[in-house]
Amino acid sequence: MADLIYRVNMTNLSFKIEEVPTEWMGLGGRALTSTIVAKEVDPECHPLGPNNKLVFAPGLLSGTSASNSGRNSCGAKSPLTGGIKESNVGGTSAQIMSKLGVKALIIEGMPKKNAFYQLHVTKNNVEFIEVPELVGKDNYAVLDAMAAKYDKKVAVMTIGRVGEMRMNLANISVKDPGGKLRSHGRGGLGAVMGSKKIKCITVDAADYKEVTIADPEKFKEASKIFTKALQENPISGQGLPAFGTNVLVNILNEAGGLPTHNFREGNWEFAENICGETMAETIKARGGKTTHGCHAGCVIQCSQVYNDKDGNYLTSGFEYETIWALGSNFGIKDLDMIAKIDGLMDDLGVDSIEASVTLGLAVDAGIVAYGDGEKAYELLSKDLPQGTPIGRIIGSGTHVLGKIYGLTHVPTVKGQGIPAYEPRAVKGQGITYATSTMGADHTSGYAVATNILNSGGYVDPLKKEGQVELARNLQIATAAVDSTGMCIFVAFPALDDPKCLPALVDMINARFGCSLTIDDVVNLGKTILKTEHEFNIKAGLGKADDRLPEFMKYETLPPHNAIWDFSGEEIDEFWNF
Amino acid sequence: MMTVTVKLFAQYRDGRFKDEKIEYAKGTTAQMVVDALELEGVSPLGVLMVNGRHVDPSYHLKEGDEIALFPKIGGG
């Protein structure tokens, strides 16, 4: 049976199943969510109003046995950036939706009644269940309630109190195979879900089927080559499983690109306290897990389980960007405190990047002292979920906090906090931040790979030459990868191993019985970016929004005394394709 | 002779050190440091920086340089 579109209307609590329109047949993941949002959402609508839509779509290969294919995309107009947003996640939702035959779940409208609902998605049906007992609860309480109600194979997508209150920091959290949480992190998609009065979505695997493979033998053959490429690559096969993404602290610190003191310096004297090497040693000593997959079928296993001194769980999915933001950028020197706050943010359902970058700026605002982890924990655990005035200011994110306090040294692009890589010292990443349709987003085109890590060649991070072309090529490729359901870390072998990308395309062809070439995939990436860009222009975002914060033009960054020296015209060259 | 600070990262630290001041003969290249420590038997050399800048393995070290050696790593 062909995959279908499940459409939910929250205004009248109705549900219908639709055939997939021909033009959406070859799309999945980000390609599908962005196409649907661009076609069906008025770019001028209020992101938290009845005319925004929340769209979930598993990737083209999700639900198959392909390694690392278990990512789900979520799209909407973002309350944080005012533009289009796609955020993808591991966990269990992509594979279960795919096996149920749900190509996309489109949620529209908004209930008039002041009640929160659970949507329970099953074969050919969506049930609307009022859940007053879950209102005011955070994510782990929701997972517990759903575990008590259903078989463990039910996927759960949930929001905490911060999402109920429709704050910009709110994410959508997804149950992972270990019963912990992964996140559709950026852009305030949890606020959109909260605006539609949806507390959680459950997807029931009881009636699922295995996904259909048009040519199983070819699929198996390509899948073997692809998996081997992932396992033999030193980055995806050795470095990431041993140290996690946090292996980046030391290399960015060494290169002078580790944002410190709210983007004032490029390295930090306490980097060794929080780095991946220290983290791995600590995890081993305490009986945690240094390797852990965010979804079934992951062969990279860059996630981990981090315990406290007594061996009790503190957090998992402990990522470089969160550790950096609370570490050098906000000043916490103690990895245990960072882990405690990371675990709290999982439960609250907030974007750990945006929340932590906001804390870095909160130091400038005089709200909290640099490195005061206890105060940061109090602000996040009490003020934020209780919706006190200061909690709501922090919950609005970096850009709004900067406006309220009259600050100019505000690290945002299109209203979204800049993550983890200093644009002045990693200039290719700066071009990605400026031009991304998503606001400052490191995952939309990871120029760090070529500027710092020597993957896919080398472009000097401190020079302008070659950066626009690099960022463009990586954003095009990333948009395509985000549509396959693949983890973005397949990009490392894809950049350096000539067998990897053809094997990925072969798997798509074998899955659907088509004959795409690599050029077709590149063209898909271009089409996605242009579709998203066009939506943003109609939403009112223009060239002036494709810029980094002005302070980066006149404040030099130690240790290389780097400056952001691209003209507007040079940045705008990005869109010439 | 000259004194150079050698910094090792990720798998290169296993059974070695984090950072040490080491004396080398004048004319020593970065690649000679990598070879002497037998790093590429552990994992291919990914990134080589001297004083915070990427350099070629043929770079001739100078008194007081800080050399940072990373295997192929990534994340994001």
Q: Are the beta carbons of A277 and B10 separated by less than 8 Å?
A: yes
Give the span between the Cα atoms of A31 and A485, in whole angstroms.
10
Taking 90 as the threshold, does the pLDDT of residue A201 lie above it? yes
Q: Are the beta carbons of A256 and B52 separated by less than 8 Å?
A: yes
Q: Say if A411 is an interface residue toward chain B (CB within 8 Å).
A: no
- Provide, as residue numbers in chain B, all residues whose Cβ is less than 8 Å from the Cβ of A458: 54
- Provide, as residue numbers in chain B, all residues whose Cβ is less than 8 Å from the Cβ of A232: none
A237-288 pLDDT, tens digit per residue, is 999 999 999 999 999 999 999 999 999 999 999 999 999 999 999 999 999 9
Taking 60 as the threshold, does the pLDDT of residue B62 lie above it? yes
Give the span between the Cα atoms of A360 and A357, in whole angstroms.
5
What number is the average pLDDT over the span A127-134?
98
Taking 60 as the threshold, does the pLDDT of residue A428 lie above it? yes
Tokens, residue A318: 């402990």
What number is the average pLDDT over the span A312-322?
96
CB A92 within 8 A of CB A86: no
Rounded (5°) CA angle A486-A353-A38: 55
Binned at pLDDT 50, 70 and 90, residue A540 comes out as: very high
A504-536 pLDDT, tens digit per residue, is 999 999 999 999 999 999 999 999 999 999 999
Amino acid at residue number A135 = V
Taking 90 as the threshold, does the pLDDT of residue A210 lie above it? no
Q: Say if B11 is an interface residue toward chain A (CB within 8 Å).
A: yes
Taking 60 as the threshold, does the pLDDT of residue A306 lie above it? yes
**Which of B9, B18, B71 faces A234 most closely, judged by CB atoms?**
B71
What number is the average pLDDT over the span A215-240?
96
Taking 70 as the threshold, does the pLDDT of residue A1 lie above it? no
- Provide, as residue numbers in chain B, all residues whose Cβ is less than 8 Å from the Cβ of A240: 73-75
Q: Say if B49 is an interface residue toward chain A (CB within 8 Å).
A: yes
**Which of A244, A251, A488 faces B9 most closely, judged by CB atoms?**
A251
What number is the average pLDDT over the span A300-313?
95
Q: Which residues, in sequence order, are bridge partners of residue A86?
A: A75
CB A399 within 8 A of CB A421: no
The CA distance from A15 to the nearest CA of chain B, in Å, is 38
Q: What count of CB pairs under 8 Å joins A to B?
A: 99
The CA distance from B76 to the nearest CA of chain A, in Å, is 6
Q: Are the beta carbons of B46 and A453 separated by less than 8 Å?
A: yes
Q: Are the beta carbons of A238 and B7 separated by less than 8 Å?
A: no
* Mean pLDDT (chain B, rounded): 97
Binned at pLDDT 50, 70 and 90, residue A206 comes out as: confident
CA-based R_g, chain B, Å = 12
Percentage above 90 pLDDT, chain A? 97
Q: Are the beta carbons of B73 and A256 separated by less than 8 Å?
A: no
Taking 70 as the threshold, does the pLDDT of residue A497 lie above it? yes
User: Phi, psi (5° rounding) for residue A141?
Assistant: -65, -35
A361-400 pLDDT, tens digit per residue, is 999 999 999 999 999 999 999 999 999 999 999 999 999 9
Q: Say if B13 is an interface residue toward chain A (CB within 8 Å).
A: yes
Rounded to a whole number, what is the largest CA-CA distance in chain B? 40
Binned at pLDDT 50, 70 and 90, residue A346 comes out as: very high
- How would you class B19 by CB atoms within 10 Å of its CB: exposed for 0-12, middle for 13-18, buried for 19 or more? middle
Q: Say if A444 is an interface residue toward chain B (CB within 8 Å).
A: no
The sheet carrying B45-50 orders its strands as: B19-24, B2-8, B66-71, B45-50, B53-54
Q: Which of A433, A453, A500 to mutate to test the interface with B (most CBs of B within 10 A)?
A: A453
Q: Say if A234 is an interface residue toward chain B (CB within 8 Å).
A: yes
* Mean pLDDT (chain A, rounded): 96
Q: Are the beta carbons of B76 and A245 separated by less than 8 Å?
A: yes
Question: For residue A331, what are the CA distances in angstroms to A19, A327, A561?
Answer: 52, 5, 21
Question: Which pLDDT does position B76 carry in this prediction?
Answer: 86
DSSP string across A241-302: HHH-GGGHHHHHHHTT-S-BTTTTBS--TTHHHHSHHHHHHHHHHTT-EEEE-SSTT-SS-B
CB B58 within 8 A of CB B30: yes
Name the residue among A474, A490, A445, A436 with its Cα closest to residue A34. A436
Question: Which pLDDT does position A345 carry in this prediction?
Answer: 98
Taking 80 as the threshold, does the pLDDT of residue B27 lie above it? yes
The CA distance from A197 to the nearest CA of chain B, in Å, is 33
Q: Are the beta carbons of B71 and A247 separated by less than 8 Å?
A: no
Q: Are the beta carbons of B13 and A302 separated by less than 8 Å?
A: no
Q: Token pair 């009845």 is at which residue?
A: A50
What number is the average pLDDT over the span B34-42?
96
Q: Are the beta carbons of B47 and A452 separated by less than 8 Å?
A: yes
CA-based R_g, chain A, Å = 22
CB A336 within 8 A of CB A301: no
- Provide, as residue numbers in chain A, all residues whose Cβ is less than 8 Å from the Cβ of B13: 277
Question: Which pLDDT does position A2 carry in this prediction?
Answer: 75
What number is the average pLDDT over the span A110-120?
96
**Which of B9, B13, B46 faces A454 most closely, judged by CB atoms?**
B46
Q: Say if B55 is an interface residue toward chain A (CB within 8 Å).
A: no
